[in-house]
Amino acid sequence: MPTLYTDIEIPQLKISLKQPLGLFINNEFCPSSDGKTIETVNPATGEPITSFQAANEKDVDKAVKAARAAFDNVWSKTSSEQRGIYLSNLLKLIEEEQDTLAALETLDAGKPYHSNAKGDLAQILQLTRYFAGSADKFDKGATIPLTFNKFAYTLKVPFGVVAQIVPWNYPLAMACWKLQGALAAGNTVIIKPAENTSLSLLYFATLIKKAGFPPGVVNIVPGYGSLVGQALASHMDIDKISFTGSTKVGGFVLEASGQSNLKDVTLECGGKSPALVFEDADLDKAIDWIAAGIFYNSGQNCTANSRVYVQSSIYDKFVEKFKETAKKEWDVAGKFDPFDEKCIVGPVISSTQYDRIKSYIERGKKEEKLDMFQTSEFPIGGAKGYFIPPTIFTDVPQTSKLLQDEIFGPVVVVSKFTNYDDALKLANDTCYGLASAVFTKDVKKAHMFARDIKAGTVWINSSNDEDVTVPFGGFKMSGIGRELGQSGVDTYLQTKAVHINLSLDN
């Protein structure tokens, strides 16, 4: 029998935990049908943590059957109030176990414990509270009077069995954005964590069970995307799929839906979000927001403001101060323990991502010959894990690959603009449309930008301070659909129209 649990010690926090390692189906941890496993690595050290069971197509089938039976026999007959009660139970358990869950994010994803992982848990608590309260509120239809002898009404009904695929940059938070919304709406779920950050969600499964959710309502199938993710996307008995990750894989998911049963698809994909700084902006505040908007979570944010455009009259001053702030507040050198309060910028997730980001930095330096500033030498001396110093490229032409591609690391490009029209044109010149930020004291200009930019989120005089009560999602190749806020439940409901004929004659 394969090992389905292991003991994990986190001496820095004096935390010991029993880590589940199996697939989670029907409220039980179980081995994969072929016994294959995946090793997970601590990105701060490059050393293995443990190995967990890796699902395959057969396991996906088993999870879908469990989710279908739970939906048909139990969950579709459970009242929305009761669903809210289960989510409230879960909220209490997350509150009790938040330090352990945050510690797992630090260990497995390299997130600085104090400044990042605890923040993720704070968001998870807020959204669980929100979705617990929304279970019995957002599923209401409408009555539609038509003629003297006819009216119609609508019912908001869950899809049924929902699949969810989540990435590694916010492993548990992204899972909870999707999971709690789908459960509040009354669906059963099969969720796949990213292969390099599965531990926190597997531990979270123990809370799902303790919260009282019936067997089969939540099922977790850790495994490789090309196998498990594809099996979910092309499964004939899954009614909806929600995916967060790269635009390329988002396309695969959409295609697999089209080639199978046309399951409903929500996609949260890549971004290359612009931040505009006008000459009338509060420069120090703009710089603080922009630095956080690119260097927080080591730049591994789909909404990171990775393209900065600054009005030419203040450009030099901005660049000088931006570098100073990056060096003073966001440097990495010598701070390689993400459990230590001093560590603000953690490692990137994997050697693959490290190499990918490094190749962009080298391209910028050598091929494109751009001006570059880094807060410390790179590669960083003394670092065992995948640490990359905050990197600022300046005077970057619009055609640069560094300006057009999502780099997903602590790397930012800065360029100039002359006036509003110029700034808007540059900002909209991208295949993405996830987020944007504008810094100005001119209310009119700020709202013109909010009107004109093609992006799902606009921050005025801030950046990346998303809120779980506000809808989130992308224009263009950044995605399809919205999550969070009321949309976070709506996206898991479909509308049924009922026509009523009152006529006595026909």
Which active-site residues does the annotation give?
A: 268
Both tokens of residue 472? 């989130």
Using CB under 6 A as the binding rule, the residues of this chain from 238 to 257 that contact ligand NAI are 244-246, 249, 252-253
Touching ligand BAL, residues 456-475 (CB under 6 A): 466
CB atoms within 10 A of CB 254: 16
3-state helix, strand, coil in the chain (%, to 5): 40, 25, 35
Query: Which CB, 119 or 141, lies closer to ligand NAI?
Result: 119
For the bound state, the minimum distance from the C-beta of residue 245 to ligand NAI, rounded and expressed in Å, comes to 3
Based on CB atoms, which residue is closest to ligand NAI, 78 or 230? 230
**SS3 of 475, please?**
strand
225 binds ligand NAI (CB under 6 A): yes
To ligand BAL, the closest distance from the beta carbon of 314 in angstroms equals: 28
Q: Which is nearer to ligand NAI, 378 or 408 (CB)?
A: 408
245 binds, among ligand NAI, ligand BAL, none (CB under 5 to 8 A by kind): ligand NAI
Judged by CB under 6 A, the chain residues 293 through 332 that form the site for ligand NAI are 302
Identify which of 263, 109, 255 has the alpha carbon closest to the alpha carbon of residue 195. 109
Would strands 28-30 and 240-244 be described as parallel, antiparallel, or unpaired?
unpaired
The conformational region for residue 499 under phi > 0 = left, psi -120 to 50 = alpha, else beta, is beta
Minimum Å distance from CB 274 to ligand NAI? 16
Q: Does 167 bind ligand NAI (CB under 6 A)?
A: yes
Site for ligand NAI in 265-284 (CB under 6 A): 268-270
Cβ-based nearer residue to ligand NAI, 281 or 411: 411
| Exposure string over 66-105, b if 16+ CB within 10 A, otherwise e | bbbbbbeeebeebebeebbbbbbbbbebbeebbbbbbbbb
Cβ–Cβ < 8 Å for 389, 332: yes
Q: Which of residues 137-196 bind ligand BAL (CB under 6 A)?
A: 169-170
| Residues 123/468, Cβ–Cβ less than 8 Å | yes
Q: If phi over 0 gives left and psi between -120 and 50 gives alpha, with beta otherwise, what is residue 298?
A: left
Helix (H) or strand (E) holding 102: helix 80-109
Pairing relationship of beta strands 15-20 and 5-10 according to DSSP bridges: antiparallel
Among 298, 303, 457, 491, binds ligand BAL (CB under 6 A): 303
Helix axes 443-452, 420-428, angle to 10 degrees: 30
CB of 117 to ligand NAI, least distance (A): 17
Answer yes or no whether residue 302 interacts with ligand BAL by CB under 6 A: yes
Strand positions, DSSP E, 258-311: 264-268, 274-277, 307-311
Applying CB under 6 A, among 301, 440, 463, 478 the residue interacting with ligand BAL is 301
- Residue 408: contacted member of ligand BAL, ligand NAI, none (CB under 5 to 8 Å, by partner type): ligand NAI
Quickly tell me which residue has 């390329």 as its tokens: 248
Q: How far is the CB of 435 from ligand BAL (least distance, A)?
A: 9
Cis peptide before 390 (omega within 30 of 0): no
- Report the nearest approach of ligand NAI to the CB of residue 285 (Å): 26
Q: Which of ligand BAL, ligand NAI, none lies near 303, with the C-beta cut-off 5 to 8 A by kind?
A: ligand BAL
* Residue 253 site contact among ligand NAI, ligand BAL, none (CB < 5 to 8 Å, cut-off depends on kind): ligand NAI
Q: How far apart are CA 297 and CA 115, in angstroms?
A: 9
Task: Identify the residue among 233, 267, 348, 477 touching ligand NAI (CB under 6 A).
Answer: 233
Residues between 391 and 410 that touch ligand NAI (CB under 6 A):
406, 408
Size of the site for ligand BAL (CB under 6 A): 6
Q: Please tell me whether residue 282 adopts helix, strand or coil conformation.
A: coil
Q: ∠ at Cα 230 (229, 235), nearest 5°? A: 105
Q: What does the alpha-carbon distance between residue 178 and residue 261 come to, in Å, rounded to a whole number? A: 21
From the CB of 169, what's the least distance to ligand BAL, in Å?
5
Binding mask 182-211 for ligand NAI (x = CB under 6 A): ----------x-xx----------------
Chain positions 125 to 164 lying near ligand NAI, rule: CB under 6 A, are none
- Tell me the closest approach of the beta carbon of residue 371 to ligand BAL, in angstroms: 28
Residue 458 amino acid letter? V
User: Is 203 or 408 the residue whose CB approaches ligand BAL more closely?
Assistant: 408
Q: Do the beta carbons of residue 292 and residue 329 sit within 8 Å? A: no
Q: Of the candidates 14, 45, 41, which has an alpha carbon nearest to the alpha carbon of residue 336?
A: 45
Rank residues 200 and 244 by Cβ distance to ligand NAI and give the closer one.
Answer: 244
Which residues sit at the interface with ligand BAL, rule CB under 6 A? 169-170, 301-303, 466
Sites of contact with ligand NAI (CB under 6 A): 165-167, 169, 192, 194-195, 225-226, 229-230, 233, 244-246, 249, 252-253, 268-270, 302, 406, 408
